[in-house]
Amino acid sequence: MLEIQERFDTAGYEHIIAAAGINNVHITEALDGNRAVGYIAYAYEAERTVVYDFDDGGDLMLCDGLVRSVMLKSAMKGIETMTFEPSEKDKLASLVKLHFLAEGSNVCENVDGFLNACEHCKK
């Protein structure tokens, strides 16, 4: 069964932290049993959450779950904006397909509104 969990250490992700240039990077992994099958690396700032990288193995549904998990944590902190800054810019195409981003943008605003829009999907 697939689970999405925040890691409380950054072992194995040092290259992402070095590329981000900051030390307060959080890592959330998608786990299939004990094996990581994806991750998202991000940091909270006062007014936004910055996503530095993610790996979904080409699985859009996994990408959706990873991004939504960070969106929820951001909304719980009162953060309404997410900026995506992956080293591989082609990763933004997945976020556009999933409607997290508009074409040509790397910023998702109104995170809480985005999450609440899904309430209508339940009906």
Give the CATH number for residue 41: 3.40.630.30
Question: Domains in the chain: how many in total?
Answer: 1
Q: How confident is the model at residue 112 (pLDDT cuts 50, 70, 90)?
A: confident
Beta bridge partners of 62: none
pTM metric for this prediction: 0.90
Q: What is the domain range of residue 101? A: 2-122
Query: Do 113 and 81 meet the contact criterion of CB atoms below 8 Å apart?
Result: no
Q: Tens of pLDDT along 53-65?
A: 999 999 999 999 9
Residue 21: what pLDDT? 87
Query: Do 70 and 5 meet the contact criterion of CB atoms below 8 Å apart?
Result: no
Beta strands in 45-92 (DSSP E): 49-55, 81-84
Locate tokens 């307060």: which residue? 24
Query: How far from 6 is each of 41, 42, 93, 109, CA to CA, in Å?
Result: 10, 11, 24, 23
Q: Tens of pLDDT along 17-75?
A: 998 888 899 999 999 999 999 999 999 999 999 999 999 999 999 999 999 999 999 99
